[in-house]
Amino acid sequence: MENVWLNLPVQDLDRTEKFYKAIGFEPNGKHFKKDELVSFLAGSNQLIVHFFKKEILAKSMMGAVANTSKGNEIIITIGSKSKEEIAEITEKAKQNGGEIHQQPQESPDGYYGSMFSDPDGHKWNLLLLEKGM
């Protein structure tokens, strides 16, 4: 396998572009912005994340996209290098229209992280990576 792509539906490409640039995603070169999508690279392994207009992605999926205001579709986890990085990204998400579901903290099972959703309701979990993970 060469790459992994994540395709997510959004309402507003400009809002999505602003949000993901603010939290540190890297524009995906020549594929970055087109009429139907905005594309980013995430993390050191450069996961390709395409944010498509909802109606475009619905056609490709041959069905309805999830309504994130009524339920969850998925939680995407980003491994973070430090507690400070988690706090910084969480704050930037909040400042740019995201909703914070869990402030940076240690969970009962011993993991440190936070959780937010973007303006379209896609949930992201930030997790502190420790040696051996």
Position 6 scores a pLDDT of: 92
CATH architecture under which domain 73-133 falls: Roll (3.10)
pLDDT for res 19: 98
pLDDT tens digit string along 102-117?
999 998 888 999 999 9
- Amino acid letter, residue 47: L
- Give the dihedral sign, CA 116/123/28/5: positive
Same fold, 1-62 and 73-133: yes
CATH number of 1-62: 3.10.180.10
Where exactly are the structural domains of the chain? Answer: 1-62, 73-133
The whole model's pTM is what?
0.89
User: Given a cut of 80, is residue 17 above it in pLDDT?
Assistant: yes
